[in-house]
Copies of this chain bind each other. A is one copy, B any other.
Amino acid sequence: MKLTKVDLSFQSCNSNYPESEVVIFSVPMDTTTSFRPGTRFAGNAIRVNSIGIEWYSPYQDKSLKDYHTCDLGDLDIGVGNIKLALDCVYRTTKKILNDQKKPLMIGGEHLVSYSTIKALYEKYPDLRVIHLDAHTDLRVDFLGNIWSHATFMRHVHQFLGDGRIYQFGIRSGDKEEFEWAQTHVIQQKYEISNLSKVVEEIKNHPVYVTIDLDVLDPAYFPGTGTPEPGGITYKELLGALTEFGKLDNFVGADIVELAPMLDSSGSSTMVAIKTLRELVLLLHK
């Protein structure tokens, strides 16, 4: 009988870092959240409750047990300091990429995706970003902040440039954002039905996928800070995941905006967990 320290890695993703091809980490940051905060707790809620899901996916006929995945846990980003936090995410992602592994991030608020995408862009200058979300996140500034969950994709655009950001499911934003989007990003409002065509189009490019889980209708994902009625169903999201399986160069992904304090039934946490399992398996192509 050998006694060892507690291991609360996501499901069976308990490999050590050196041997792993996919690396999970979470970012407990919700500093710029404008309505209801709490996404900082998403990572550990996902870890602790991941015993509630199978390691086998019938959708992909693959099992987490058959791959080496490491879970770094919450990054140590302090509290209330945006710059510090973004830099930590950026350096962690760089390190993972340098070590020839794939990053899979759990937010936190959506602003944290800025740093992963930046690091990925530096490795893959030809990067394309698929962005599922209820909100445009294309503001120039928001409530006095330039760096905000509501502006992060505008920042991403600054280095990615026109026509490389593909948005789906968008149903909330300011008038200016929607107008700006028309000439700078590819955007499907309300629905994600064009995703299949887009994947076909960009499948040979390196692709990063960022999923704000509030792209789902609040019926399917009530446990989030700013639920926006009129979203997609979970089966539609599963359909999107199937599409991602067709990407030839799927280089990283994230899921953001689970707020466990708002998830009294725990079903939103299970939505995040199932989505994460599928993404781990997809990245282990």
Contacts and interface: CB of A to CB of B under 8 A. Distances in A.
A228 B80 contact: no
Interface residues of A, number: 91
Interface in A255-273: 261-268, 270-271
B274 A145 contact: no
A267 B222 CA distance: 6
Q: Is the interface of A mostly helix, strand, loop or mixed?
A: loop
B3 A6 contact: no
A137 interface: no
Given A36-B266, A218-B270, A16 B8 contact: no
Contacts of A268: 265
A143 B5 contact: no
A17 B219 CA distance: 36
A217 interface: yes
Interface string A21-49: 00100000011111111101100110110
B80 A145 contact: yes
Contact of A144 (B40, B78, B95): B78
A171 B104 CA distance: 24
Nearest to A101: B3
Nearest to A28: B51
Nearest to A31: B80
Interface stretch (A123-131, A173-181, A192-200, A202-210): A173-181
A58 B229 contact: no
Contacts of A78: 143-145
Contacts of A96: 3
A162 interface: no
A67 interface: no
A70 interface: yes
B82 A80 contact: yes
A227 B142 CA distance: 32
B222 A230 contact: no
A102 to B, nearest CB: 13
